[in-house]
Amino acid sequence: MKITNLIEVDQFTQNREAFTTDVLMGLSSEPKTISAKYFYDDAGSELFQKISQHQDYYLTKTEFSILEQFGASLAATINEAEIDILELGAGDGHKSKLIIDSFLAQGTKVNFYPIDISEKAMGLLGANLTVSEQLNIHGIVADYFHGLNSLKTISSNKKLVLFLGSNIGNFNRAQTQEFLKKLWLSLNANDHVLIGYDLKKDTDILNKAYNDSGGLTTAFNLNLLKRMNAELGADFEMDKFKHYGFYNPSLGAMESYIISLHDQDVYIAALEKSFHFEKFEAMHLESSFKFSESEIHALASQTGFKIEAHFTDVQNFFVDALWQVQKS
């Protein structure tokens, strides 16, 4: 049979539908939960941007200092005439720039492929990168693995995949393994990955970073409620909830929750359904896992990578792990 009418579903509709279903699933679970991936609408991305510059949030600054110090050594380790650099999750480009510039400085031609599900996220990047005849930039709007796999076939250059900022920390331990194995599968032998891991450290430092004195993290978390109000017609009242973030040492993760301050019902128009929140009931939003050096070593060997270098800062707060894909 011939199919005559193909229905084109645009990305916006797909995203809205995924958000709607995930909110239904999440608010029907026990305990209630909303995935951290929904933090990043325009307002959320802007808030994260501000968090990353705040005094109390050491991660971004620390990783930046590591890349500043070791960029040249990273480029020298890979040392190709031409390289494809793929970045998962387009940030504002400041960290990408350090890495790209290190390759350009040693005469390596760079093809930069930022991969992000949101086209908007790419907008920030371009303006912050160096203009050079030796640098080509091609944004890929796709989820990470579709983006990676599409490149595997069209280019035979050696690849370096960047997954910076401890974004990997939002996966739980099992998901981290799965992610690294899929990464390994989508690359060829001798390709590289550079992954930013936030290290286990004093709990006071961790708790401060996720409860900044500027109230930015609180606003970042509560923004998810605003997003449900705006996109799903929910009627969350911000002042009836509070943000609660703390380090769980047995899990090795920062955990963030929104706690209901009242016995209350929230109606979500897009679901034609009300959800009851008991007084002091918690809704889980995010876990940000922290790693020890030995855990990072174990991850590499369990998922098929050889460690080339673990770059760290003077305080030993953060590691950028340069690994090479092993295949035989």
**H-state helical runs in 54-93:** 58-78
Q: Specify the 3-state DSSP secondary structure of 326.
A: coil
Q: How many chain residues bind ligand AVJ (CB under 6 A)?
A: 12
Cα separation, 197 vs 319, whole angstroms = 5
Q: Minimal CB distance to ligand AVJ: which residue?
A: 288
Considering only residues 96, 108, 166, 312, which one is a binding residue for ligand AVJ as defined by CB under 6 A? 166
- Taking CB under 6 A as the rule, does residue 167 contact ligand AVJ? yes
Cα separation, 260 vs 158, whole angstroms = 50
Q: Give the range of 62-70, 160-168, 182-190, 294-302 binding ligand AVJ by CB under 6 A.
A: 160-168
**H-state helical runs in 128-172:** 144-154
> Would you give the binding string for ligand AVJ spanning residues 194-213, x where CB under 6 A is met?
----------------x---
The secondary structure of 211-226, three-state, reads CCCCCHHHHHHHHHHH
Of 94, 98, 119, 97, which is closest to residue 40 (Cα–Cα)? 119
- Taking CB under 6 A as the rule, does residue 169 contact ligand AVJ? yes
What is the sign of the dihedral through the CA atoms of 228, 232, 233 and 234? Answer: negative
Q: Which is nearer to ligand AVJ, 40 or 277 (CB)?
A: 40
- Taking CB under 6 A as the rule, does residue 179 contact ligand AVJ? no
Between residue 31 and residue 60, which ones bind ligand AVJ under the rule CB under 6 A?
51, 59
Q: How near is the Cβ of 16 to ligand AVJ at its closest, in Å?
A: 23
Considering only residues 102, 108, 217, 312, which one is a binding residue for ligand AVJ as defined by CB under 6 A? 217
Residues 51-61: b if buried by 16+ CB within 10 A, e if exposed: bbebebbbbbb
Q: How near is the Cβ of 171 to ligand AVJ at its closest, in Å?
A: 10
Q: Which is nearer to ligand AVJ, 102 or 256 (CB)?
A: 256
Q: Give the range of 77-85, 112-120, 163-171, 273-281 binding ligand AVJ by CB under 6 A.
A: 163-171
Q: Which is nearer to ligand AVJ, 268 or 319 (CB)?
A: 319
How many beta carbons lie within 10 A of that of residue 27, not counting itself?
21
Is 197 within 8 Å of 296 (Cβ atoms)? yes
Considering only residues 96, 211, 288, 303, which one is a binding residue for ligand AVJ as defined by CB under 6 A? 288
Is 164 within 8 Å of 61 (Cβ atoms)? no
Considering only residues 80, 286, 313, 320, which one is a binding residue for ligand AVJ as defined by CB under 6 A? 286
* CA end-to-end distance (rounded Å), the chain: 45
Q: Which is nearer to ligand AVJ, 35 or 150 (CB)?
A: 35
Residues that bind ligand AVJ (CB under 6 A): 51, 59, 165-167, 169-170, 210, 217, 220, 286, 288
